[in-house]
Amino acid sequence: MDRRDLLKGMTLAAGAVAASTAIDGVAETAANAQQAAGRPEGNAVVDIKPVDSAFFISDRFAGRTFIVTGSARGMGKAAAIRLAREGANVVGVDWIKDLGEETNAAILAGGGKAAFVYGDVGDPAVADQAVAAAVSQFGRLDRLTMPASWTASIRATPSTSTSSAT
Ligand SMILES: NC(=O)c1ccc[n+]([C@@H]2O[C@H](COP(=O)([O-])OP(=O)(O)OC[C@H]3O[C@@H](n4cnc5c(N)ncnc54)[C@H](O)[C@@H]3O)[C@@H](O)[C@H]2O)c1
């Protein structure tokens, strides 16, 4: 049997399983239908329970400093607030000044540690300012979280001397 015959056979077999399910009139979920076709449970479609947004691990990142790009809104804002809530020092960076400062103020008001650098993350000078803020205010830089891309500044300065400490 060559490859084409093999593929044809597999298609026919899959069709037969689907047809028999339909003929039996069984209202199958996608997961049950997959299991009925002889596939292991691990391949089944399953419902995923959303994470409880109120859940957090206090002090998980205590003593660690993160730069978070795009901290003014969206994913970056959510990451900055969650990281701070879990103990991190957060240096937010964004080119929307008022909203970036709002995120920063919200972290400080909640007892967190944060700094804000205003500017374009594609500008190497802004990247340098963010690293400098991390080191001068928190003594170290551990991680970059980058919902707003940092790659433009990395490309622009391949010999940049900025570094991170772990
Ligand atoms: N929102 C989602 O559910 C989701 C899911 C998966 C992935 N993403 C990805 O995450 C990234 C962010 O999405 P989002 O929904 O949070 O977007 P958003 O537009 O709500 O937020 C992006 C933030 O980044 C800032 N920003 C963008 N470019 C910048 C620059 N050059 N300098 C400084 N700040 C800059 C913006 O001002 C804004 O505050 C996108 O790449 C998106 O595709 C988003």
In angstroms, the CA 143 to CA 65 distance is 7
What's the pLDDT at 6?
A: 43
Q: Are residues 104 and 71 in the same domain?
A: yes
Q: Are residues 152 and 82 in the same domain?
A: yes
**Residue of 115, 120, 114, 80 lying closest to 96 (CA atoms):** 120
Residue 75, Cβ density class (10 Å: 0-12 exposed, 13-18 middle, ≥19 buried): middle
Q: Are residues 84 and 16 in the same domain?
A: no
Residue 6, Cβ density class (10 Å: 0-12 exposed, 13-18 middle, ≥19 buried): exposed
Q: Are residues 74 and 142 in the same domain?
A: yes
Please check whether residue 72 lies inside any domain of the structure: yes
Please check whether residue 52 lies inside any domain of the structure: no
CA of 108 to the centre of ligand 1 (A): 22
List, for residues 23-52, the tens digit of each pLDDT value: 344 445 555 555 555 555 556 677 888 888
What's the pLDDT at 15?
A: 40
CA angle 75, 134, 72 (to 5 degrees): 25
What's the pLDDT at 53?
A: 80
Q: Are residues 92 and 152 in the same domain?
A: yes
In angstroms, the CA 87 to CA 159 distance is 32
What's the pLDDT at 32?
A: 56
Please check whether residue 24 lies inside any domain of the structure: yes
Q: In testing the pocket of ligand 1, which one of 51, 82, 94, 118 has its CB within 8 Å of the most ligand atoms? A: 94
Q: Using 70 as the pLDDT threshold, list the residues of the chain that sit under it.
A: 1-44, 150-166
What's the pLDDT at 44?
A: 65
Q: Are residues 34 and 82 in the same domain?
A: no
**Full domain range(s) for residue 132:** 65-156
Please check whether residue 56 lies inside any domain of the structure: no
Q: Are residues 16 and 84 in the same domain?
A: no
The ligand 1 atom at the shortest distance from the C-alpha of residue 120 is 32
What's the pLDDT at 30?
A: 52
Q: Encoding tokens for residue 82?
A: 């969650």
Q: Are residues 80 and 144 in the same domain?
A: yes
Q: Are residues 99 and 69 in the same domain?
A: yes
CA of 74 to the centre of ligand 1 (A): 6
HEC letters along 13-77 = HHHHHHHHHHHHCCCCCHHHHHHHCCCCHHHCCCCCCCCCCCCCCCCCCCCCEEEEECCCCHHHH
Q: Are residues 85 and 139 in the same domain?
A: yes
Please check whether residue 111 lies inside any domain of the structure: yes
| Strand bridging mode 143-145 / 65-69 | parallel
> Is residue 148 within 8 Å of 94, Cβ to Cβ?
yes
How many domains, the chain? 2
**Residue of 150, 143, 154, 151 lying closest to 79 (CA atoms):** 143
What's the pLDDT at 47?
A: 81
Please check whether residue 60 lies inside any domain of the structure: no
CATH of the domain at 75: 3.40.50.720
